[in-house]
Chains A and B, each alone.
Chain A
């Protein structure tokens, strides 16, 4: 298994035990040790004589222990208990709190002072260790953040690892990145770590939505919490104030552009300060940068698409101007020749000119109507009106309509096995199939058959799809030109010699099929023929199925089938 730097960091972080003080544990351990020292020291006194000045040294041990584990206050508590115990058991007169000798009183005072300063040191060491660990954790979190940003992984991935890290590092209840939903005044949770209470969730709470909106607009942080104190008290107006902060909303901004909001839900109203606040700010910056990066990438993509579309438009314009101007030249030329008064044309020549005008006018008509179709397809104006159709019947209709016109090519239709029902716009798919069959008929030599087949391809690996294929035994298409033939106005070298055409039929067919979410493929061997296939994807669960297998318990499907 490959473990990404992000995952590794997360695992490391999870394994860390935050070095928080444990007051109860510290006090308990110290007191237990004090109690244990009593019989131990009593036994030592009994066996080896008076211990005198070394006793306080023994009692420093529990003080040190409880200070280190539980903090200074617990250390002080344990030192007071140690003094009491020491006095009772070991300072004469024994088993009283009375101190007989002044030197013993001095010893007690000095012990207390020493115990406090030692405890203070131990607690400080402990605090520093915890702080160092927090810093290390922050540094690690920041390092991972920068890695995530540099790696340009998926935005959702970056944001979710970021929120998880922030929540773990600051011990938050929850943490989320909120994004404005474009065009509407709603908000979405793009990434979330920990459960966000309903009344703080932008999906559930109006307050959360308006707070997020304000923070994003104003670029300032806002706090949400339990409000208290509104009203009059002792004759003075008391402004409402946040008694306990529950959540903080931070703007995610780059160059004064509001990109989203970071929401932090605090555990028991504990708001991080100092290093914690700096860490929050750094994470907010990181999240903003990640969002900005995605926004810039989207903008760049849009610009690239626009550039490509400009390039295509100018190429198209060049083709269109040529294809429109050529027939116009011929029509104009033939007409002005006929109108020449000083030339007397024979009847045959006059008729030839008229035939030219007629043919070129037809060509212009065809070109203009194809162009209109194409512009409707490319402008997205063609929206398939999908109905349940039997694909076998659809192909049959096309074949029967074309047969009389394609008398020199036998049309061979291989019907699908069983009934093949799919949701599609019959008029558009018929048009696409017609264009493919007409293309085949144009270029294949007379007498050679054109094979049409409809099949359901349902492999285990691929999504099921309907394949409508048209095969001819024509000249084929050189491999180097197989990609270009789908472009508008492109015609294979030498194609003009074989047939008249505008180079738009395949483009239009492809546009219609693409509007259905499908594609058109070509397989061709020069000299042996070509097969064009319309591939229409169908969903395994209902967009297409064999009609007799349709479930009857689904009212929508049932209605659609009837």
Chain B
């Protein structure tokens, strides 16, 4: 319980790996956040929009390569989500490099897998403050 002020902040986590989701759920809950898990990109957008989370942790490569990027583009255009900090997680370097400028312009934080989950938690705390 390091960050009392983040208590109860809703965090959307979108990733296709159930074990990774499980781990993040444990860690985020332990940090006092309220994690909401989305195991695939399909239909996640509408539910995230309704959730209006404090931050989004998004894996851009899910069941099919374009799903994450589509979700990211829609979030940027969304009046509710456009100011929500988004942490993009990806293991797929070429497509990250392709979109590096775009993401820099939008102030997107990028974590390349495999990353240190503790670093993810630090980053999340800084973005929410």
Q: Which residues of A contact B (CB under 8 A)?
A: 314-315, 317-319, 321-330, 332-334, 336-337, 340, 343, 349, 352-353, 356, 359-360, 363, 484, 490-497, 500
Contact = CB atoms under 8 A, between A and B. Distances in A.
Contact of B40 (A317, A334, A356, A493): A493
A365 to B, nearest CB: 14
B78 interface: no
22 contacts: A321-B91, A322-B92, A324-B91, A326-B20, A327-B20, A329-B114, A333-B23, A333-B24, A356-B19, A356-B22, A359-B19, A491-B63, A491-B64, A492-B63, A492-B64, A493-B40, A493-B41, A493-B63, A494-B42, A496-B40, A496-B63, A497-B39
Interface stretch (B46-54, B79-87, B101-109, B115-123): B115-123
Contacts of B120: 333
A500 B18 contact: yes
B125 interface: no
Nearest to B90: A322
Contacts of A321: 91-93
Contacts of B22: 352, 356
Contacts of A356: 19, 22-23
A314 B26 contact: no
Contacts of A494: 40, 42, 63
A313 to B, nearest CB: 11
A517 B90 CA distance: 38
A317 B24 CA distance: 26
Contacts of B94: 314, 317-318
B93 to A, nearest CB: 6
Contact of A336 (B30, B63, B92, B116): B116
Contacts of B114: 325, 328-329, 332
B63 to A, nearest CB: 4
Contact of A318 (B26, B67, B95): B95
Contacts of B39: 496-497
Contacts of B115: 329
A340 B18 CA distance: 23
Nearest to B17: A326
Given A321-B93, A493-B40, A494-B40, A337 B27 contact: yes
Main secondary structure of the interface of A (DSSP, over half): helix
Contact of B117 (A314, A326, A333, A495): A333
A34 B27 CA distance: 125
Contacts, number: 110
Contacts of A334: 23
A326 B42 contact: no
Which 8 pairs from chain A and chain B are nearest by CB? A325-B91, A333-B117, A325-B113, A322-B91, A328-B114, A329-B114, A318-B92, A496-B16
Contacts of B95: 318
B62 interface: yes
Given A318-B95, A327-B17, A330-B17, 8 more contacts: A333-B116, A333-B120, A337-B27, A337-B117, A493-B42, A493-B64, A494-B40, A496-B62
A315 B66 CA distance: 12
B113 A329 contact: yes
A331 to B, nearest CB: 8
B40 A330 contact: no
Contacts of A326: 15, 17, 20, 59, 91, 113
Interface residues of B, number: 38
A344 to B, nearest CB: 11
Nearest to A484: B64
Given A317-B94, A326-B59, A352 B26 contact: yes
A349 B26 CA distance: 8
B8 interface: no
Given A330-B20, A496-B16, A336 B117 contact: yes
A351 to B, nearest CB: 11
Given A321-B91, A336-B116, A336-B118, A329 B20 contact: yes
Contacts of B40: 493-494, 496-497
A323, A333, A352: which has the most chain B beta carbons within 10 Å?
Answer: A333
Interface string B26-41: 1100100000000111
B27 A333 contact: yes
Contacts of A318: 61, 65, 92-95
A352 B27 CA distance: 11
A363 B116 contact: no
A314 to B, nearest CB: 6
A319 B113 contact: no
A53 B75 CA distance: 119
B48 to A, nearest CB: 16
A483 to B, nearest CB: 13
Nearest to B24: A333
A495 B67 CA distance: 13
Contacts of B62: 496
B70 to A, nearest CB: 11
B19, B64, B91, B115: which has the most chain A beta carbons within 10 Å?
Answer: B19
A493 B61 CA distance: 12
Nearest to B27: A337
Nearest to B96: A318
Nearest to A322: B91
Contacts of B16: 496
